[in-house]
Amino acid sequence: MFTDLHAPLIPILRYTLATTILPSTGVVLDLACGPGEKLPVLADRCGPEVQFVALDIDREAVGAAQVSQPDTNGIVGNGMALPLRDACCTAVFCIAALGLFANAAIALDEMHRVLHPDGRVFIATATQLWAPVTHWPEALATAYEQALMAGHPPLSATADLQEYSSQLLHQAGFAAPQIRAFLLAPSIRPSQAELALFSWNDVRLLITPYLSHTNLQHCEHATESVEIELCTVVLVTEAIK
Ligand SMILES: C[S@@+](CC[C@H](N)C(=O)[O-])C[C@H]1O[C@@H](n2cnc3c(N)ncnc32)[C@H](O)[C@@H]1O
């Protein structure tokens, strides 16, 4: 278990946000912003026209978030009873916090309520679970990055990893959830962290055109060393109201 979950989360956030449709105007909520460590990453991706609201139940955290990202409106409040009017946000981010709310379903209802029609929610949450982990050669990650650059949509997390989040999102009224999963580990590229949770069958069709014959063989050999490990997995979810 990592003592610092946040450092390896930042490259994963940048990586997923790069292929996410985000608003470039309006009010965007960073729900449970903490001291605002992720705010510069989120603000950078949304652009200067967006007005950020940083909300947390902890007053000191809200103060620190405003220091971390000046021009942010800080609000001390409860994610399960947001002090915001209906449909006032073009997007809601909730990073590393959903599991801390006493009731995640109520928090999701609140995110849904404050979003504009067609507004987007972006949630990253870490969980510990037993999963088959494959240590692929780096060439596989490079090939996957090339496939994404060529316009292929990112791989969705395996059905078992999607199950819990997707149920909660549907219950709150969100549509089209896209859920990606990453092994939270220091010093590996986000693409490697994502691929580690897939089997060769899951990735083969997408990636084979981007691999040389030798690397293809290396990948096939890697499947022999799959191990079930207790790992920290980050689920990154996007959905539309
Ligand atoms: C692990 S921190 C994550 C902070 C930030 N999102 C980040 O990724 O750096 C979780 C935050 O959730 C906040 N929090 C917990 N329960 C909350 C609630 N009911 N309403 C609002 N914030 C809450 C805590 O005060 C804490 O700042």
Task: Establish if 72 belongs to a structural domain.
Answer: yes
CB neighbour class for 211 (10 Å; exposed up to 12, middle 13-18, buried from 19) = buried
The pairing of strands 175-183 and 115-133 is unpaired
Q: Can you give the pLDDT at residue 23?
A: 93
Task: Establish if 119 belongs to a structural domain.
Answer: yes
C-beta 202 within 6 A of ligand 1: no
C-beta 5 within 6 A of ligand 1: no
pLDDT digits (tens, 9 = 90+) for 137-196: 999 999 999 999 999 999 999 998 998 788 999 999 999 899 999 999 888 999 999 999
Residue 31 pLDDT level (bands cut at 50, 70, 90): very high
C-beta 78 within 6 A of ligand 1: yes
φ, ψ at 23 (rounded to 5°) = -70, 150
Residue 211 · residue 91 · CB < 8 Å? no
Instruction: Give the residue numbers spanning the domain of 55.
Output: 6-240
What CATH number has the domain bearing residue 61? 3.40.50.150
Q: How far is the C-alpha of 63 from the C-alpha of 83, rounded, in Å? A: 17
Task: Establish if 180 belongs to a structural domain.
Answer: yes
pLDDT digits (tens, 9 = 90+) for 64-123: 999 999 999 999 999 999 999 999 999 999 999 999 999 999 999 999 999 999 999 999
Q: Chain-wide mean pLDDT for the chain?
A: 93
Q: Given a cut of 60, is residue 3 above it in pLDDT? A: no
State both tokens at 110: 């609140």
Task: Establish if 215 belongs to a structural domain.
Answer: yes
Whole-number Å distance, alpha carbon 217 to ligand 1 midpoint, is 45
Question: Cα(first)–Cα(last) distance of the chain, in Å?
Answer: 34
Tally of structural domains, the chain: 1
Whole-number Å distance, alpha carbon 134 to ligand 1 midpoint, is 32
Task: Establish if 186 belongs to a structural domain.
Answer: yes
Task: Establish if 210 belongs to a structural domain.
Answer: yes
pTM for the model stands at 0.94
Task: Establish if 38 belongs to a structural domain.
Answer: yes
C-beta 79 within 6 A of ligand 1: yes
Q: Given a cut of 90, is residue 224 above it in pLDDT? A: no
Task: Establish if 1 belongs to a structural domain.
Answer: no
Best mutation site among 12, 14, 56 for ligand 1, i.e. most ligand atoms within 8 A of its Cβ?
56
Q: What percent of the chain has pLDDT over 90?
A: 85
Q: How far is the C-alpha of 154 from the C-alpha of 207, rounded, in Å? A: 12
